[in-house]
Chain A
Amino acid sequence: MTGRMTGLAWRSLRHRATASVATFVAVLLGTALMGSFAALAASASGPVSTADHDTLTTMGTVVGAWGAIIVLSAVVSTVGITVTQREVEIGLLRTVGATPGQASRLVRAETLLVAALGSALGAGLAWLGGAALLTLLRNTGTVADSVPYSPGLAPLATAALVVLVSLLGSGFAARRATRGSASITPSEGRPGTGRLPWWRVAAAVALFGYSAAMAVVTITVTAHDDDPYSAMATSGQLGILVAVGLGCLAPWLLRVLSPATRPALGRGAAGYLAAYNARRRSRLLSGVLAPVIVLTASGISVFMIVGTDDRTRPAGFEDDARTINLLNNVVVGMMVVFAAVVVVNTFAAVVAHRRSELRQLWLLGATPHQVEASVLAEARGVAAIGVVLGALASLVAVIPFGVARHEGVVPDGQLWLPPLVMAAAAALTLLAARSAVRRAHLPAGSLQ
Chain B
Amino acid sequence: MNSTTTSHPTGAVLEVRDLARTYGEGAGAVTALDGVDLAFAPGTFTAVMGPSGSGKSTFLSCAAGLEPPTAGRVLVDGHDITDWDENDRTRLRRERIGFVFQAFHLMPYLTAEQNVGLPLRLAGRRPDRARVRELLERVGLADRGGHLPGSLSGGQQQRVAIARALVTEPAVVLADEPTGALDSGTARGILTLLRDSVDALDQTIVMVTHDPVAASYADTVVFLVDGRVAGRMDRPTADAVAGQLAHLSDLVVGGAR
A contacts, CB < 8 Å to B: 185-191, 268-269, 272-273, 276-277, 279-281, 357, 360-370, 443, 445-448
Contact = CB atoms under 8 A, between A and B. Distances in A.
A268 B125 CA distance: 9
B114 interface: yes
Interface of B: 57-58, 60-61, 64, 66-68, 86-87, 90-91, 93-95, 99, 101, 105, 107-110, 114, 118-119, 121-124, 148-151, 164, 176
Nearest to B101: A363
Contact of B150 (A185, A362, A366): A185
A447 B57 contact: yes
Given A269-B121, A446-B66, A367 B105 contact: no
A281 B109 CA distance: 7
Nearest to B88: A367
B108 A445 contact: no
A35 B94 CA distance: 54
Contact of B108 (A357, A365, A446): A357
B124 A268 contact: yes
Contact of B99 (A189, A280, A364): A364
A281 B94 CA distance: 26
Contacts of B61: 445-447
B148 A280 contact: yes
Contacts of A370: 122
Nearest to B96: A365
Nearest to A370: B122
A361 B68 CA distance: 19
A324 to B, nearest CB: 47
Contact of B107 (A185, A357, A362, A446): A357
Contact of A272 (B67, B94, B99, B121): B121
Contacts of A188: 108-109, 150
Contacts of B107: 273, 276, 357, 360-361
Contact of A447 (B60, B94, B108, B109): B60
Given A269-B122, A363-B66, A447-B176, A189 B90 contact: no
B202 to A, nearest CB: 22
A364 B108 contact: no
Contact of B90 (A185, A186, A273, A366): A366
Chain B facing A: main interface SS: helix
A447 B123 CA distance: 21
A365 B90 contact: yes
Contacts of A272: 121
14 contacts: A189-B149, A273-B121, A277-B109, A360-B101, A364-B99, A365-B90, A365-B119, A365-B122, A366-B94, A367-B87, A367-B91, A370-B122, A446-B66, A447-B60
A186 B108 contact: yes
Given A446-B61, A446-B66, A447-B66, A281 B90 contact: no
B151 A365 contact: no
Q: Which of A279, A280, A443 counts the most chain B CB atoms within 10 A? A: A280
Contact of A186 (B114, B123, B150): B150
A443 B65 CA distance: 13
Contacts of B86: 367-368, 443
Contact of A445 (B68, B110, B121): B68
Give the one of B91, B107, B122 with max A CB within 10 A. Answer: B122
Contacts of B93: 365
B66 A189 contact: no
A187 B91 CA distance: 33
Given A364-B119, A366-B94, 13 more contacts: A188-B109, A189-B150, A268-B124, A273-B121, A360-B101, A360-B105, A364-B105, A365-B95, A367-B90, A368-B86, A443-B86, A446-B61, A446-B66
Contacts of B110: 273, 276, 280
A91 to B, nearest CB: 12
Contacts of A367: 86-87, 90-91
Contacts of B67: 445-446
Contacts of B87: 367-369
A168 B100 CA distance: 43
A363 B58 contact: no
A177 B108 CA distance: 18
Nearest to A280: B109
Nearest to A368: B86
Nearest to B23: A446
Contacts of A360: 101, 105, 107
Nearest to A367: B90
A360 B149 CA distance: 15
A367 B61 CA distance: 16
A331 B60 CA distance: 58
Contact of A364 (B91, B109, B122, B151): B122
